[in-house]
Structure 1
Amino acid sequence: MPVSYVDVNFPNPGRDGDTRFIIYGYRPSISLGIVGSIFFGAYGIASLCALIRPRRAGAILLLIGVLFEVVGYICRCLSSQVDPYFLAYFVCQYFFIVVAPVFFAAAIYLDLSRLIAGITGNNKPPVSPRLILAIFVTFDVITTIVQIAGAASIGSAESNNKNPAPATDILIVGLAVQTAAFLVFLVIFLVVIARLQLRMRSLPAGAYAALADAHWQFALLFCSAVLVQLRTAFRLAESSQGVGGYLSSHTVYFGCLEFLPIVLAVFGLLMLEVAFKRSWGSFTAVGTPGQSLTHPQCRRHVEASKLGGNEPRLDST
Protein backbone atom coordinates (compact mmCIF):
# COMPACT_ATOMS: atom_id res chain seq x y z
CA MET A 1 0.00 0.00 0.00
CA PRO A 2 1.26 3.54 -0.65
CA VAL A 3 1.88 5.83 2.28
CA SER A 4 -1.13 7.94 1.31
CA TYR A 5 -3.58 5.03 1.48
CA VAL A 6 -7.23 6.01 1.25
CA ASP A 7 -10.02 3.43 1.34
CA VAL A 8 -12.20 3.93 -1.75
CA ASN A 9 -15.10 2.35 0.15
CA PHE A 10 -14.68 4.76 3.05
CA PRO A 11 -14.01 8.33 1.88
CA ASN A 12 -12.28 10.66 4.30
CA PRO A 13 -15.00 12.44 6.34
CA GLY A 14 -12.67 15.42 6.79
CA ARG A 15 -13.69 15.98 10.40
CA ASP A 16 -11.54 17.54 13.11
CA GLY A 17 -8.92 15.02 14.16
CA ASP A 18 -8.90 13.16 10.83
CA THR A 19 -5.60 12.61 9.04
CA ARG A 20 -5.18 13.00 5.27
CA PHE A 21 -4.98 9.24 4.84
CA ILE A 22 -5.27 6.03 6.87
CA ILE A 23 -2.09 5.79 8.95
CA TYR A 24 -2.52 2.03 9.41
CA GLY A 25 -1.85 1.56 5.70
CA TYR A 26 -5.08 -0.42 5.49
CA ARG A 27 -8.55 -0.33 6.93
CA PRO A 28 -8.40 -2.35 10.18
CA SER A 29 -10.21 -5.68 10.06
CA ILE A 30 -13.43 -5.64 12.02
CA SER A 31 -13.25 -9.45 12.31
CA LEU A 32 -9.82 -9.33 13.94
CA GLY A 33 -10.97 -6.52 16.22
CA ILE A 34 -13.96 -8.53 17.41
CA VAL A 35 -11.97 -11.76 17.82
CA GLY A 36 -9.28 -9.91 19.76
CA SER A 37 -11.85 -8.29 22.04
CA ILE A 38 -13.54 -11.66 22.69
CA PHE A 39 -10.33 -13.59 23.34
CA PHE A 40 -8.82 -11.05 25.70
CA GLY A 41 -12.19 -10.47 27.34
CA ALA A 42 -12.36 -14.19 28.12
CA TYR A 43 -8.79 -14.08 29.39
CA GLY A 44 -9.84 -11.19 31.63
CA ILE A 45 -12.58 -13.33 33.18
CA ALA A 46 -10.07 -16.15 33.69
CA SER A 47 -7.65 -13.73 35.36
CA LEU A 48 -10.41 -12.57 37.70
CA CYS A 49 -11.10 -16.18 38.67
CA ALA A 50 -7.39 -16.67 39.36
CA LEU A 51 -7.53 -13.74 41.78
CA ILE A 52 -9.95 -15.56 44.08
CA ARG A 53 -7.81 -16.89 46.91
CA PRO A 54 -4.93 -16.69 46.84
CA ARG A 55 -4.46 -13.25 45.36
CA ARG A 56 -1.32 -13.31 43.26
CA ALA A 57 0.50 -10.40 41.71
CA GLY A 58 0.90 -12.43 38.51
CA ALA A 59 -2.86 -12.70 38.04
CA ILE A 60 -3.25 -8.97 38.67
CA LEU A 61 -0.65 -8.17 36.01
CA LEU A 62 -2.40 -10.47 33.53
CA LEU A 63 -5.75 -8.86 34.28
CA ILE A 64 -4.41 -5.36 33.63
CA GLY A 65 -2.70 -6.51 30.45
CA VAL A 66 -5.75 -8.22 28.94
CA LEU A 67 -7.94 -5.21 29.80
CA PHE A 68 -5.49 -3.03 27.87
CA GLU A 69 -5.71 -5.45 24.94
CA VAL A 70 -9.51 -5.32 25.00
CA VAL A 71 -9.51 -1.51 24.87
CA GLY A 72 -6.94 -1.59 22.06
CA TYR A 73 -8.97 -3.97 19.91
CA ILE A 74 -12.17 -2.05 20.57
CA CYS A 75 -10.39 1.04 19.23
CA ARG A 76 -9.43 -0.94 16.13
CA CYS A 77 -13.10 -1.84 15.70
CA LEU A 78 -13.97 1.86 15.92
CA SER A 79 -11.29 2.65 13.36
CA SER A 80 -12.73 0.02 11.04
CA GLN A 81 -16.39 0.98 11.27
CA VAL A 82 -16.58 4.58 12.49
CA ASP A 83 -13.60 6.47 11.06
CA PRO A 84 -10.28 4.87 10.00
CA TYR A 85 -8.79 8.35 9.45
CA PHE A 86 -9.37 9.51 13.02
CA LEU A 87 -5.96 10.01 14.66
CA ALA A 88 -7.21 9.50 18.23
CA TYR A 89 -8.39 5.97 17.44
CA PHE A 90 -5.00 5.08 15.96
CA VAL A 91 -3.02 6.50 18.89
CA CYS A 92 -5.38 4.90 21.42
CA GLN A 93 -5.20 1.41 19.92
CA TYR A 94 -1.43 1.71 19.56
CA PHE A 95 -1.01 2.82 23.17
CA PHE A 96 -3.07 0.03 24.70
CA ILE A 97 -1.85 -2.79 22.44
CA VAL A 98 1.79 -1.75 22.85
CA VAL A 99 1.61 -1.23 26.62
CA ALA A 100 -0.28 -4.48 27.36
CA PRO A 101 2.72 -6.81 26.77
CA VAL A 102 4.67 -4.84 29.39
CA PHE A 103 2.34 -6.32 32.02
CA PHE A 104 2.67 -9.79 30.48
CA ALA A 105 6.46 -9.48 30.52
CA ALA A 106 6.32 -8.35 34.16
CA ALA A 107 4.24 -11.44 34.95
CA ILE A 108 6.91 -13.57 33.26
CA TYR A 109 9.67 -11.94 35.32
CA LEU A 110 7.64 -12.42 38.49
CA ASP A 111 6.81 -16.06 37.77
CA LEU A 112 10.46 -16.84 37.01
CA SER A 113 11.61 -15.17 40.22
CA ARG A 114 9.05 -17.17 42.23
CA LEU A 115 10.02 -20.44 40.58
CA ILE A 116 13.70 -19.73 41.28
CA ALA A 117 12.93 -19.02 44.93
CA GLY A 118 10.82 -22.16 45.15
CA ILE A 119 13.55 -24.40 43.77
CA THR A 120 16.42 -22.92 45.78
CA GLY A 121 14.57 -22.33 49.07
CA ASN A 122 16.96 -20.64 51.49
CA ASN A 123 19.98 -21.49 49.33
CA LYS A 124 21.67 -18.90 47.17
CA PRO A 125 19.89 -18.75 43.77
CA PRO A 126 21.94 -18.62 40.53
CA VAL A 127 20.42 -15.19 39.76
CA SER A 128 18.76 -12.78 42.18
CA PRO A 129 14.98 -12.89 41.54
CA ARG A 130 14.54 -9.32 42.79
CA LEU A 131 17.32 -8.10 40.50
CA ILE A 132 15.58 -9.68 37.50
CA LEU A 133 12.33 -7.91 38.38
CA ALA A 134 13.93 -4.53 39.03
CA ILE A 135 16.16 -4.38 35.94
CA PHE A 136 13.85 -5.73 33.26
CA VAL A 137 10.65 -4.05 34.45
CA THR A 138 12.55 -0.74 34.44
CA PHE A 139 13.76 -1.37 30.88
CA ASP A 140 10.24 -2.25 29.72
CA VAL A 141 8.65 0.84 31.26
CA ILE A 142 11.23 3.25 29.82
CA THR A 143 11.28 1.74 26.33
CA THR A 144 7.47 1.60 26.18
CA ILE A 145 7.22 5.29 27.05
CA VAL A 146 9.68 6.03 24.24
CA GLN A 147 7.64 3.92 21.80
CA ILE A 148 4.38 5.66 22.67
CA ALA A 149 6.01 9.07 22.31
CA GLY A 150 7.39 8.06 18.92
CA ALA A 151 4.07 6.67 17.67
CA ALA A 152 2.17 9.77 18.79
CA SER A 153 4.74 11.99 17.07
CA ILE A 154 4.42 9.98 13.86
CA GLY A 155 0.65 10.44 13.86
CA SER A 156 0.99 14.15 14.55
CA ALA A 157 3.60 14.60 11.81
CA GLU A 158 1.52 12.75 9.23
CA SER A 159 -1.64 14.68 10.08
CA ASN A 160 0.23 17.99 9.72
CA ASN A 161 2.00 16.97 6.49
CA LYS A 162 5.44 16.96 8.15
CA ASN A 163 8.36 14.56 7.85
CA PRO A 164 7.74 11.60 10.22
CA ALA A 165 11.33 10.29 9.98
CA PRO A 166 12.59 11.79 13.30
CA ALA A 167 9.57 10.39 15.15
CA THR A 168 10.09 7.01 13.48
CA ASP A 169 13.69 6.97 14.68
CA ILE A 170 12.49 7.54 18.26
CA LEU A 171 10.08 4.63 17.94
CA ILE A 172 12.77 2.36 16.50
CA VAL A 173 15.21 3.19 19.32
CA GLY A 174 12.61 2.26 21.94
CA LEU A 175 11.78 -1.02 20.20
CA ALA A 176 15.44 -1.90 19.58
CA VAL A 177 16.39 -1.44 23.23
CA GLN A 178 13.34 -3.39 24.39
CA THR A 179 14.10 -6.24 21.97
CA ALA A 180 17.74 -6.39 23.05
CA ALA A 181 16.85 -6.28 26.76
CA PHE A 182 14.32 -9.10 26.44
CA LEU A 183 16.82 -11.15 24.46
CA VAL A 184 19.26 -10.79 27.36
CA PHE A 185 16.47 -11.93 29.67
CA LEU A 186 15.91 -15.06 27.56
CA VAL A 187 19.63 -15.88 27.77
CA ILE A 188 19.55 -15.42 31.55
CA PHE A 189 16.44 -17.62 31.64
CA LEU A 190 18.31 -20.45 29.88
CA VAL A 191 21.31 -20.07 32.20
CA VAL A 192 19.03 -20.21 35.24
CA ILE A 193 17.30 -23.36 33.95
CA ALA A 194 20.64 -25.06 33.26
CA ARG A 195 22.05 -24.25 36.71
CA LEU A 196 18.89 -25.24 38.53
CA GLN A 197 18.76 -28.48 36.57
CA LEU A 198 22.27 -29.32 37.78
CA ARG A 199 21.29 -28.49 41.35
CA MET A 200 18.12 -30.58 41.12
CA ARG A 201 19.96 -33.59 39.67
CA SER A 202 22.25 -33.64 42.70
CA LEU A 203 19.22 -34.50 44.84
CA PRO A 204 18.10 -38.03 45.72
CA ALA A 205 16.03 -39.57 42.92
CA GLY A 206 12.82 -39.36 44.94
CA ALA A 207 13.34 -35.68 45.72
CA TYR A 208 14.03 -34.98 42.05
CA ALA A 209 10.78 -36.70 41.10
CA ALA A 210 8.94 -34.55 43.64
CA LEU A 211 9.99 -31.51 41.62
CA ALA A 212 8.41 -32.80 38.39
CA ASP A 213 5.96 -29.90 38.18
CA ALA A 214 8.82 -27.42 38.01
CA HIS A 215 10.01 -28.83 34.68
CA TRP A 216 6.86 -28.15 32.67
CA GLN A 217 6.30 -24.86 34.48
CA PHE A 218 9.72 -23.61 33.39
CA ALA A 219 9.09 -24.88 29.84
CA LEU A 220 5.68 -23.21 29.59
CA LEU A 221 7.04 -19.96 31.00
CA PHE A 222 9.94 -19.97 28.54
CA CYS A 223 7.60 -20.58 25.58
CA SER A 224 5.46 -17.63 26.65
CA ALA A 225 8.58 -15.47 26.90
CA VAL A 226 9.71 -16.48 23.39
CA LEU A 227 6.28 -15.57 21.98
CA VAL A 228 6.46 -12.12 23.59
CA GLN A 229 9.93 -11.68 22.08
CA LEU A 230 8.62 -12.71 18.64
CA ARG A 231 5.97 -10.01 18.85
CA THR A 232 8.52 -7.38 19.91
CA ALA A 233 10.86 -8.35 17.06
CA PHE A 234 7.96 -7.98 14.61
CA ARG A 235 7.20 -4.50 15.92
CA LEU A 236 10.85 -3.54 15.45
CA ALA A 237 10.94 -4.86 11.88
CA GLU A 238 7.63 -3.16 11.11
CA SER A 239 8.75 0.21 12.44
CA SER A 240 12.13 0.05 10.70
CA GLN A 241 10.28 0.05 7.35
CA GLY A 242 8.57 3.32 8.25
CA VAL A 243 4.99 4.44 7.73
CA GLY A 244 3.51 2.64 4.74
CA GLY A 245 6.11 -0.14 4.83
CA TYR A 246 5.21 -3.63 3.67
CA LEU A 247 4.73 -5.11 7.15
CA SER A 248 2.75 -2.19 8.53
CA SER A 249 0.46 -1.97 5.51
CA HIS A 250 -0.70 -5.61 5.50
CA THR A 251 -3.08 -6.60 8.27
CA VAL A 252 -2.18 -10.30 7.99
CA TYR A 253 1.18 -9.61 9.61
CA PHE A 254 -0.47 -7.80 12.49
CA GLY A 255 -2.76 -10.77 13.01
CA CYS A 256 -0.05 -13.43 12.79
CA LEU A 257 2.83 -11.64 14.53
CA GLU A 258 1.10 -9.32 17.01
CA PHE A 259 -2.27 -10.84 17.88
CA LEU A 260 -1.47 -14.57 17.70
CA PRO A 261 1.81 -14.62 19.70
CA ILE A 262 0.29 -12.57 22.52
CA VAL A 263 -2.88 -14.69 22.61
CA LEU A 264 -0.77 -17.85 22.94
CA ALA A 265 1.63 -16.29 25.45
CA VAL A 266 -1.19 -15.13 27.71
CA PHE A 267 -2.83 -18.55 27.46
CA GLY A 268 0.40 -20.12 28.69
CA LEU A 269 0.65 -17.65 31.57
CA LEU A 270 -2.95 -18.34 32.55
CA MET A 271 -2.21 -22.08 32.55
CA LEU A 272 0.59 -21.36 35.01
CA GLU A 273 -1.75 -19.32 37.18
CA VAL A 274 -4.18 -22.26 37.25
CA ALA A 275 -1.36 -24.61 38.26
CA PHE A 276 -0.17 -22.20 40.93
CA LYS A 277 -3.70 -21.80 42.28
CA ARG A 278 -4.33 -25.55 42.47
CA SER A 279 -1.07 -25.99 44.38
CA TRP A 280 -1.89 -23.24 46.90
CA GLY A 281 -1.63 -24.23 50.53
CA SER A 282 1.01 -26.95 50.04
CA PHE A 283 4.00 -24.65 50.05
CA THR A 284 6.29 -23.27 52.67
CA ALA A 285 6.61 -19.70 53.84
CA VAL A 286 8.45 -18.92 50.63
CA GLY A 287 4.99 -18.80 49.06
CA THR A 288 6.26 -20.02 45.71
CA PRO A 289 4.04 -22.00 43.34
CA GLY A 290 5.18 -25.42 42.21
CA GLN A 291 7.22 -28.02 44.06
CA SER A 292 10.28 -26.69 45.87
CA LEU A 293 13.27 -28.02 47.76
CA THR A 294 11.32 -27.18 50.89
CA HIS A 295 8.19 -29.04 49.76
CA PRO A 296 7.32 -31.78 52.34
CA GLN A 297 7.59 -34.68 49.89
CA CYS A 298 10.92 -33.45 48.54
CA ARG A 299 12.23 -32.70 52.05
CA ARG A 300 11.46 -36.24 53.25
CA HIS A 301 13.64 -37.72 50.52
CA VAL A 302 16.48 -35.31 51.29
CA GLU A 303 16.32 -35.98 55.04
CA ALA A 304 16.21 -39.74 54.46
CA SER A 305 19.34 -39.45 52.35
CA LYS A 306 21.10 -37.46 55.08
CA LEU A 307 20.19 -40.12 57.68
CA GLY A 308 22.09 -42.73 55.73
CA GLY A 309 19.44 -43.97 53.37
CA ASN A 310 20.64 -45.67 50.21
CA GLU A 311 18.41 -43.73 47.85
CA PRO A 312 20.41 -43.13 44.65
CA ARG A 313 21.19 -39.69 43.29
CA LEU A 314 20.53 -38.89 39.66
CA ASP A 315 24.03 -37.50 39.11
CA SER A 316 25.54 -40.82 40.17
CA THR A 317 23.77 -42.87 37.53
Structure 2
Amino acid sequence: MTTENGLYPYKPSRPGTVIFAIAFGTSAAIHLYQMIRGRAWFYSSFTVGAVMMAAGYAARYVSTRSPADLGPFIAQSLFIILPPSLYAATIYMIYGRLVIFVNAAEASIIRPIYVTKIFVCGDVLAFVLQAAGGGMMAQVNLGDLGQKRLRHSSARTSVPQYGRHAWTALLKLMLGAAVVIILRCVFRIVEFAQGHAGYLASHEVYMYLFDTLPMLGVQLLFHFVRADSVFGANQVEKLGDRDSIIHLYERR
Protein backbone atom coordinates (compact mmCIF):
# COMPACT_ATOMS: atom_id res chain seq x y z
CA MET A 1 0.00 0.00 0.00
CA THR A 2 1.42 3.37 -1.03
CA THR A 3 1.41 6.56 1.03
CA GLU A 4 1.86 10.19 0.08
CA ASN A 5 5.57 9.32 -0.21
CA GLY A 6 4.89 6.39 -2.50
CA LEU A 7 6.16 3.06 -1.18
CA TYR A 8 8.21 4.74 1.55
CA PRO A 9 6.86 5.44 5.04
CA TYR A 10 8.86 8.71 4.97
CA LYS A 11 10.11 11.18 2.41
CA PRO A 12 13.46 9.70 1.31
CA SER A 13 16.47 12.00 1.15
CA ARG A 14 17.57 12.54 -2.43
CA PRO A 15 20.90 14.23 -1.52
CA GLY A 16 21.70 11.29 0.77
CA THR A 17 21.33 8.81 -2.07
CA VAL A 18 23.64 10.86 -4.31
CA ILE A 19 26.32 11.26 -1.64
CA PHE A 20 26.46 7.58 -0.77
CA ALA A 21 26.13 6.37 -4.36
CA ILE A 22 29.28 8.40 -5.12
CA ALA A 23 31.04 7.27 -1.92
CA PHE A 24 30.33 3.57 -2.43
CA GLY A 25 31.03 3.84 -6.16
CA THR A 26 34.42 5.47 -5.60
CA SER A 27 35.32 2.85 -3.00
CA ALA A 28 34.21 0.07 -5.36
CA ALA A 29 36.44 1.42 -8.14
CA ILE A 30 39.43 1.57 -5.79
CA HIS A 31 38.75 -1.98 -4.56
CA LEU A 32 38.63 -3.21 -8.16
CA TYR A 33 41.97 -1.52 -8.89
CA GLN A 34 43.58 -2.90 -5.71
CA MET A 35 42.30 -6.40 -6.41
CA ILE A 36 43.68 -6.43 -9.95
CA ARG A 37 46.99 -4.83 -8.97
CA GLY A 38 47.56 -7.30 -6.13
CA ARG A 39 46.08 -10.25 -8.09
CA ALA A 40 44.08 -10.98 -4.94
CA TRP A 41 41.09 -12.57 -6.65
CA PHE A 42 39.56 -13.73 -3.36
CA TYR A 43 38.49 -10.09 -2.97
CA SER A 44 36.07 -10.59 -5.88
CA SER A 45 33.00 -11.08 -3.69
CA PHE A 46 33.90 -8.01 -1.62
CA THR A 47 34.31 -5.94 -4.79
CA VAL A 48 31.01 -7.19 -6.18
CA GLY A 49 29.37 -6.26 -2.89
CA ALA A 50 30.85 -2.76 -3.11
CA VAL A 51 29.51 -2.36 -6.65
CA MET A 52 26.10 -3.58 -5.49
CA MET A 53 26.07 -1.00 -2.70
CA ALA A 54 26.77 1.78 -5.20
CA ALA A 55 24.07 0.42 -7.49
CA GLY A 56 21.70 0.22 -4.54
CA TYR A 57 21.99 3.90 -3.69
CA ALA A 58 21.84 4.82 -7.38
CA ALA A 59 18.62 2.82 -7.64
CA ARG A 60 17.41 4.52 -4.47
CA TYR A 61 17.97 7.89 -6.15
CA VAL A 62 15.87 6.74 -9.10
CA SER A 63 13.27 5.49 -6.66
CA THR A 64 13.07 8.86 -4.88
CA ARG A 65 12.09 10.43 -8.20
CA SER A 66 9.28 7.90 -8.66
CA PRO A 67 8.55 6.68 -5.12
CA ALA A 68 5.44 4.74 -6.18
CA ASP A 69 7.35 2.72 -8.81
CA LEU A 70 7.85 -0.83 -7.55
CA GLY A 71 10.87 -1.77 -9.71
CA PRO A 72 13.43 0.77 -8.44
CA PHE A 73 12.13 0.33 -4.90
CA ILE A 74 12.79 -3.44 -4.98
CA ALA A 75 16.17 -2.94 -6.68
CA GLN A 76 17.43 -0.45 -4.09
CA SER A 77 16.23 -2.63 -1.24
CA LEU A 78 17.94 -5.81 -2.48
CA PHE A 79 21.19 -4.15 -3.54
CA ILE A 80 21.55 -2.48 -0.14
CA ILE A 81 20.50 -5.47 1.99
CA LEU A 82 22.54 -8.24 0.35
CA PRO A 83 26.20 -6.97 0.06
CA PRO A 84 27.20 -7.62 3.71
CA SER A 85 26.88 -11.35 2.95
CA LEU A 86 29.51 -10.87 0.23
CA TYR A 87 31.74 -8.93 2.62
CA ALA A 88 31.48 -11.81 5.08
CA ALA A 89 32.39 -14.34 2.36
CA THR A 90 35.63 -12.44 1.77
CA ILE A 91 36.39 -12.48 5.49
CA TYR A 92 36.00 -16.28 5.46
CA MET A 93 38.39 -16.64 2.52
CA ILE A 94 40.99 -14.37 4.09
CA TYR A 95 40.66 -16.19 7.41
CA GLY A 96 41.48 -19.55 5.82
CA ARG A 97 44.52 -18.12 4.06
CA LEU A 98 45.64 -16.33 7.22
CA VAL A 99 45.60 -19.57 9.22
CA ILE A 100 47.78 -21.19 6.54
CA PHE A 101 50.07 -18.16 6.42
CA VAL A 102 50.81 -18.20 10.16
CA ASN A 103 51.50 -21.93 9.93
CA ALA A 104 49.12 -22.78 12.76
CA ALA A 105 46.30 -24.91 11.40
CA GLU A 106 46.05 -26.58 14.81
CA ALA A 107 44.96 -23.24 16.28
CA SER A 108 41.81 -23.24 14.15
CA ILE A 109 38.88 -25.43 15.19
CA ILE A 110 37.98 -25.90 11.52
CA ARG A 111 40.72 -26.83 9.04
CA PRO A 112 41.55 -23.82 6.84
CA ILE A 113 40.79 -25.66 3.59
CA TYR A 114 37.22 -26.20 4.83
CA VAL A 115 36.56 -22.74 6.28
CA THR A 116 35.62 -21.10 2.99
CA LYS A 117 33.53 -24.06 1.79
CA ILE A 118 31.55 -24.35 5.02
CA PHE A 119 30.86 -20.69 5.67
CA VAL A 120 30.32 -19.62 2.07
CA CYS A 121 27.70 -22.37 1.70
CA GLY A 122 26.08 -21.04 4.84
CA ASP A 123 26.32 -17.52 3.48
CA VAL A 124 24.59 -18.56 0.25
CA LEU A 125 21.72 -19.91 2.31
CA ALA A 126 21.71 -16.70 4.35
CA PHE A 127 21.80 -14.72 1.11
CA VAL A 128 18.62 -16.46 -0.01
CA LEU A 129 16.91 -16.11 3.36
CA GLN A 130 18.21 -12.55 3.94
CA ALA A 131 19.29 -13.54 7.39
CA ALA A 132 23.08 -13.62 7.17
CA GLY A 133 23.75 -12.64 10.79
CA GLY A 134 24.18 -16.18 12.11
CA GLY A 135 26.97 -17.13 9.71
CA MET A 136 28.84 -13.88 10.35
CA MET A 137 28.64 -14.35 14.11
CA ALA A 138 30.14 -17.82 13.73
CA GLN A 139 33.09 -16.27 11.89
CA VAL A 140 33.83 -13.86 14.73
CA ASN A 141 33.68 -16.65 17.30
CA LEU A 142 36.06 -18.79 15.28
CA GLY A 143 38.47 -15.91 14.77
CA ASP A 144 38.52 -15.13 18.47
CA LEU A 145 39.14 -18.74 19.45
CA GLY A 146 41.86 -19.06 16.84
CA GLN A 147 43.67 -15.99 18.19
CA LYS A 148 43.64 -17.42 21.75
CA ARG A 149 44.78 -20.84 20.61
CA LEU A 150 47.61 -19.37 18.52
CA ARG A 151 49.21 -17.88 21.63
CA HIS A 152 50.05 -21.44 22.69
CA SER A 153 51.41 -22.45 19.29
CA SER A 154 55.18 -22.87 18.89
CA ALA A 155 54.96 -21.37 15.39
CA ARG A 156 53.53 -18.02 16.35
CA THR A 157 56.93 -16.32 16.75
CA SER A 158 58.26 -17.58 13.40
CA VAL A 159 55.67 -16.01 11.11
CA PRO A 160 57.42 -13.97 8.40
CA GLN A 161 56.30 -10.53 7.27
CA TYR A 162 56.36 -10.23 3.50
CA GLY A 163 54.29 -7.07 3.10
CA ARG A 164 53.78 -3.68 4.73
CA HIS A 165 51.53 -4.95 7.53
CA ALA A 166 51.84 -7.69 10.12
CA TRP A 167 49.30 -10.51 10.09
CA THR A 168 47.91 -9.31 13.44
CA ALA A 169 46.74 -6.05 11.81
CA LEU A 170 44.78 -8.04 9.25
CA LEU A 171 43.26 -10.26 11.93
CA LYS A 172 42.14 -7.25 13.97
CA LEU A 173 40.64 -5.68 10.88
CA MET A 174 38.71 -8.85 10.08
CA LEU A 175 37.37 -9.18 13.61
CA GLY A 176 36.38 -5.52 13.74
CA ALA A 177 34.65 -5.71 10.36
CA ALA A 178 32.83 -8.89 11.38
CA VAL A 179 31.53 -7.25 14.56
CA VAL A 180 30.29 -4.24 12.57
CA ILE A 181 28.53 -6.54 10.10
CA ILE A 182 26.90 -8.46 12.94
CA LEU A 183 25.62 -5.26 14.56
CA ARG A 184 24.25 -4.14 11.21
CA CYS A 185 22.47 -7.49 10.86
CA VAL A 186 20.98 -7.12 14.34
CA PHE A 187 19.60 -3.74 13.29
CA ARG A 188 18.06 -5.24 10.15
CA ILE A 189 16.54 -8.13 12.12
CA VAL A 190 14.90 -5.73 14.57
CA GLU A 191 13.77 -3.51 11.71
CA PHE A 192 12.19 -6.42 9.84
CA ALA A 193 10.59 -7.72 13.02
CA GLN A 194 8.89 -4.36 13.58
CA GLY A 195 7.50 -4.40 10.05
CA HIS A 196 7.30 -1.79 7.32
CA ALA A 197 5.35 0.56 9.59
CA GLY A 198 7.67 0.03 12.58
CA TYR A 199 9.63 2.81 14.23
CA LEU A 200 13.01 1.93 12.66
CA ALA A 201 11.63 1.36 9.16
CA SER A 202 9.59 4.55 9.27
CA HIS A 203 12.58 6.79 10.09
CA GLU A 204 15.21 6.97 7.36
CA VAL A 205 17.91 8.31 9.66
CA TYR A 206 18.31 4.92 11.35
CA MET A 207 19.11 3.21 8.04
CA TYR A 208 21.91 5.69 7.44
CA LEU A 209 23.22 5.43 11.01
CA PHE A 210 23.12 1.66 11.48
CA ASP A 211 23.46 0.35 7.92
CA THR A 212 24.86 2.86 5.43
CA LEU A 213 27.66 4.40 7.50
CA PRO A 214 28.85 1.09 9.08
CA MET A 215 29.02 -0.65 5.70
CA LEU A 216 30.84 2.28 4.14
CA GLY A 217 33.24 2.14 7.09
CA VAL A 218 33.90 -1.55 6.42
CA GLN A 219 34.62 -0.85 2.77
CA LEU A 220 37.00 1.98 3.62
CA LEU A 221 38.89 -0.02 6.26
CA PHE A 222 39.62 -2.78 3.74
CA HIS A 223 41.43 -0.25 1.55
CA PHE A 224 44.21 0.23 4.11
CA VAL A 225 45.06 -3.25 5.41
CA ARG A 226 44.95 -5.60 2.45
CA ALA A 227 45.67 -9.31 2.56
CA ASP A 228 48.14 -8.93 -0.29
CA SER A 229 49.96 -6.29 1.81
CA VAL A 230 50.32 -8.90 4.56
CA PHE A 231 51.03 -12.08 2.61
CA GLY A 232 53.21 -10.39 0.01
CA ALA A 233 52.54 -10.18 -3.72
CA ASN A 234 54.34 -13.45 -4.45
CA GLN A 235 52.46 -15.38 -1.77
CA VAL A 236 48.83 -14.39 -2.48
CA GLU A 237 48.16 -16.91 -5.25
CA LYS A 238 50.16 -19.68 -3.54
CA LEU A 239 47.92 -19.47 -0.48
CA GLY A 240 44.98 -20.46 -2.61
CA ASP A 241 46.15 -23.94 -3.68
CA ARG A 242 46.76 -27.14 -1.75
CA ASP A 243 50.39 -27.55 -2.85
CA SER A 244 51.36 -24.29 -1.17
CA ILE A 245 50.05 -25.59 2.16
CA ILE A 246 52.81 -28.20 2.20
CA HIS A 247 55.37 -25.56 1.23
CA LEU A 248 54.28 -23.19 3.96
CA TYR A 249 54.33 -25.91 6.60
CA GLU A 250 58.00 -26.53 5.84
CA ARG A 251 59.01 -23.01 6.93
CA ARG A 252 59.92 -24.11 10.44
- TM-score w.r.t. the length of structure 1 is 0.68
Q: Show the 5 A alignment for 1:188-199.
A: 188-199=142-153
1:36 is the counterpart of 2:20: yes
Unaligned regions of 5+ residues in structure 1, if any? 8-21, 148-174, 303-317
Q: Show the 5 A alignment for 1:1-317.
A: 5-7=3-5, 22-80=6-64, 82-120=65-103, 124=106, 126=108, 127-147=110-130, 175=131, 178-199=132-153, 202-203=154-155, 207=158, 213-273=166-226, 276=229, 279-281=232-234, 285-286=238-239
Q: Aligned partners of 2:112, 2:10: CA distance in 1, in Å?
A: 43
Off by >3 Å, runs of 4+ in structure 1: 202-205, 207-212, 282-288
Q: Aligned partners of 2:118, 2:228: CA distance in 1, in Å?
A: 27
Q: Aligned partners of 1:209, 1:286: CA distance in 2, in Å?
A: 14
Identity %: 25
Contact 2:63 2:72 in 1 (8 A): yes
Q: Which moved more, 1:247-256 or 1:278-287?
A: 278-287
Compute the displacement of 1:125 (Å). Answer: 5.2
Aligned residues: 245
When Rg is computed on C-alpha atoms for both structures, the one with the higher figure is 1
Q: Aligned partners of 1:120, 1:50: CA distance in 2, in Å?
A: 26
| 1:129 to 1:280, Cα distance in 2 relative to 1, 3 A | same
Q: Which amino acid aligns with 1:189?
A: G
1:53-90 CA deviation, whole Å, 9 max, x = no partner?
A: 4422233222211111111101111122x211111111
1:97-120 CA deviation, whole Å, 9 max, x = no partner?
A: 122122111111111111111011
| 1:44 to 1:204, Cα distance in 2 relative to 1, 3 A | closer
Q: Aligned partners of 2:169, 2:156: CA distance in 1, in Å?
A: 20
| 1:32 to 1:58, Cα distance in 2 relative to 1, 3 A | farther
1:14-52 CA deviation, whole Å, 9 max, x = no partner?
A: xxxxxxxx3331122112211211111111221122133
Q: Aligned partners of 1:51, 1:102: CA distance in 2, in Å?
A: 19
| 1:278 to 1:34, Cα distance in 2 relative to 1, 3 A | farther
- TM-score w.r.t. the length of structure 2 is 0.85
**Root-mean-square deviation (Å):** 3.0
